Amino acid sequence: MARRNRKFVVEPGTLIPWIALFIVIIWLGANWSSVNTEKKAIKASGDSVSYAKIVADTVNVRSAPEIDKENIIGTVEKGDTVQVIEKTSDWFRVQLKDEKTGYISAKSEYIQLVDE
């Protein structure tokens, strides 16, 4: 059986759509996690006030929703209750009993929402 020598020929105007598709696929892959895990803040409002109880021994309260030694503004102790002002998937913005506000990690080993 004889084999023919075949060449891959790109005709003018056919390569650009394939390059564009490739770029879109790469962009979607790189940005999929940010598209898929959009964090929306839910603000407590009106009659609906949320509270949370501290379940860890001591939890840091931070000035910004990020872990940094420089932004610790205080601590709360196990059993303390705080008012939740805003919730995201990673952080609670809370108001403490002394009227200060700050951020606490929303991990369930630190804090849990309660009915009050």
Helix (H) or strand (E) run with residue 114 in it: strand 111-114
- Which residues does 90 contact at the CB level (< 8 Å), separation at least 6? 39, 65, 105, 106
Q: What is the CATH number of the domain that holds 100?
A: 2.30.30.40
Task: 90-94: list long-range contacts, CB under 8 Å, 24+ apart.
Answer: 90/39, 90/65, 91/65, 92/52, 93/65, 94/52, 94/61
Identify whether 91 is part of a domain.
yes
Domain with 108, as residue range(s), is 42-114
- Counting residues of the chain whose pLDDT is more than 70, the rounded percentage is 75
Tell me whether residue 27 is in a domain. no
The model's pLDDT over 87-99, given as tens digits with 9 standing for 90+, comes to 887 999 999 888 8
pTM: 0.59
Number of domains in the chain: 1
Distance between CA 16 and CA 24 in Å, rounded?
12
Assigned domain for 83 exists:
yes
